[in-house]
Structures are given as C-alpha cells and as structure tokens.
C-alpha cells in the first residue's frame, strides 16, 4: 500500500530493489533496509503488525459478508507516484467496516501481489485505500490472477502517464469494476506496506480474485519497471 506524503514533508528515497539487485544504491534503499533509512521509517523494522502477510485460509476466520461498499463517484486521474500507478477520483466513495465509515482516498497497483493466500502470491494486487477524518486507515485488497482480459484494467493501461505526470481518464471509471462479484474476505490489523510502514492499518483482503490477461500483467510490469511488492512480513 502506497500513500502520498503530506505537503511540506521531506521524503527519504526508498526502493523495491532486492538484495540481489545490480544497482548498489537501489539495493541499499530496498525493503530490507527501509527501517534504517531515517528515524521516521523505524517502524518498517521495529513494528509488530507489519504487512503484507501470508493468510492461512484454514486458521483465519472468513468474513463472508464483507464490507459495505458505496462506490458511486468515478475515478478520474491516473498518476505516476514513482513507486506505483495511483488512480484518484471524485469524493464520496465510502466503505463501512465494523461500524466505521471510511472514504476512498486512492487506488493503486502492485506486481506481483503483496499478500499471499496459503503461501501463494497472485500476479497483481489492487489496493483501495480509505481513511476517516480522524486519520484511521483501511485498505481493501483485491488479488489479480492471470486469465481473461480485464476491461477496467484496459482503460487504466490505456492511460498510463509519463514519469512523474498524470493522465485523465475519459468519462471516468467506477471502482466497482475493480472488484470481484463476491466480497467475502479476511480482515486483520497490519501496517502500510511502504515507508513509513505506519501501524495500525485495517486490512480486508478479498478471497475471490479478479482476472487480467498475461499481456495486461506484462504491460503494467513493463511500465512499472519491475516489481513493486514488499516481501511477506509474517
């Protein structure tokens, strides 16, 4: 899960480069070192509820009803954050979970998936990031498996922005089109999956994946310039 820094906040550069990466500088800023980069990122190493996780479907309780979703305002803009493709839109989309109503802030993509289910990671993962006026965060995670072409992803991939820029989505896109038909899933308390790795974050990982073609997965991977998924934390 990626979040944008607050205005005026300085950002220490970090990367997704693994310990085996050729680029020494990128490797030094990779996930294994996030907690060492600045005191503000200490929770990446010291946190007790870090995400993503491997979900054991046999031991974790499945929430069959899922959250209450009211997504009626369109997503309008795709933006390159430097770490992911972020999709933003008009206000008014909400998710209600455990009696708390959260407002959809942004949507972004990871390749491969960050969460795993029973040890298996999917080809991609979509994060729908929500917040409350008090600053509580909740993320709806949708796994993406290889299969048929996904029309919603086709629209996003057709408007991939240049580096550091944004693109407008013609006529907008409903966030509902990024969801599976069934909304059952697993809920847990975790963290941001990007620096500063803040805790707590309420996660709801949907059990049923959506599909995307291998060509679509490859297209996003190429635009992204490689993988942008944090290793499993527990």
Whole-number Å distance between alpha carbons of 49 and 43: 9
Task: Examine the pLDDT at 6 and tell me if it is beyond 80.
Answer: no
pLDDT in tens, 188-222: 999 999 999 999 999 999 999 999 999 999 999 99
pLDDT at 191: 99
Q: Are 218 and 103 within one domain? A: yes
Is 152 among the domain residues? yes
The residue with tokens 């309780």 is: 61
Neighbouring C-alpha atoms within 13 Å toward the C-beta of 182: 10
How confident is the model over 68-78, as a mean pLDDT?
Answer: 97
Confidence of residue 89 (pLDDT cuts 50, 70, 90): very high
In this prediction the pTM is 0.93
What confidence score (pLDDT) does residue 12 get?
Answer: 77
> Do 154 and 53 share a structural domain?
yes
Residue 229 included in any domain: no
55 occurs within a structural domain: yes
Residue 204 lies in a domain: yes
What range does the domain containing 119 cover? 48-224
- Whether 92 and 15 share a structural domain: no
What distance separates the 2 farthest-apart alpha carbons in the chain?
48
208 φ/ψ angles, rounded to the nearest 5 degrees:
-90, 125
pLDDT value of residue 9: 37
Structural domain contains residue 105: yes
Q: Give mean pLDDT, residues 49-53.
A: 99
In a domain, 231, yes or no: no
91 and 193 share one domain = yes
Question: In the annotation, is 83 catalytic?
Answer: yes
Do 182 and 204 share a domain, yes or no? yes
- pLDDT at residue 2, rounded to an integer: 58
Read off the CATH number of the domain in which 174 is found.
3.10.200.10
Catalytically annotated residue among 83, 127, 130, 183: 83
Are both 66 and 164 inside the same structural domain? Answer: yes
Cis omega (within 30 of 0) for bond into 215: no
Distance of CA 152 to the CA centre of its chain: 16
Question: What total of structural domains would you count in the chain?
Answer: 2
Q: What is the mean pLDDT of residues 8-37?
A: 78
In a domain, 165, yes or no: yes
């Amino acid at each position: 899960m990626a979040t944008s820094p607050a205005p005026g906040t300085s950002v220490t550069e970090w990367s997704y480069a693994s310990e085996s990466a050729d680029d020494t500088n990128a490797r030094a800023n990779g996930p294994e070192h996030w907690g060492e980069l600045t005191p503000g990122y200490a929770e990446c190493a010291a946190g007790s509820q870090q995400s993503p996780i491997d979900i054991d479907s046999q031991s974790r309780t499945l929430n069959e009803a899922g959250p209450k979703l009211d997504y009626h305002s369109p997503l309008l803009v795709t933006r390159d954050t430097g770490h992911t493709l972020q999709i933003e839109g008009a206000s008014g989309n909400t998710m209600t979970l455990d009696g708390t109503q959260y407002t959809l802030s942004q949507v972004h993509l990871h390749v491969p998936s960050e969460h795993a289910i029973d040890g298996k990671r999917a080809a991609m993962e979509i994060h729908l990031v929500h917040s409350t006026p008090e600053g509580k965060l909740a993320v709806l995670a949708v796994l993406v498996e290889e299969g048929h072409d996904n029309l919603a992803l086709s629209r996003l991939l057709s408007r991939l922005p240049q580096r550091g820029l944004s693109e407008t989505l013609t006529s907008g896109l409903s966030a509902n089109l990024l969801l599976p038909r069934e909304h059952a899933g697993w809920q847990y308390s975790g963290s941001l999956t990007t620096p500063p790795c803040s805790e707590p974050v309420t996660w709801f990982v949907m059990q049923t994946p959506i599909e995307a073609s291998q060509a679509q997965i490859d297209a996003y991977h190429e635009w992204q310039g490689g993988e942008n998924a944090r290793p499993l934390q527990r």
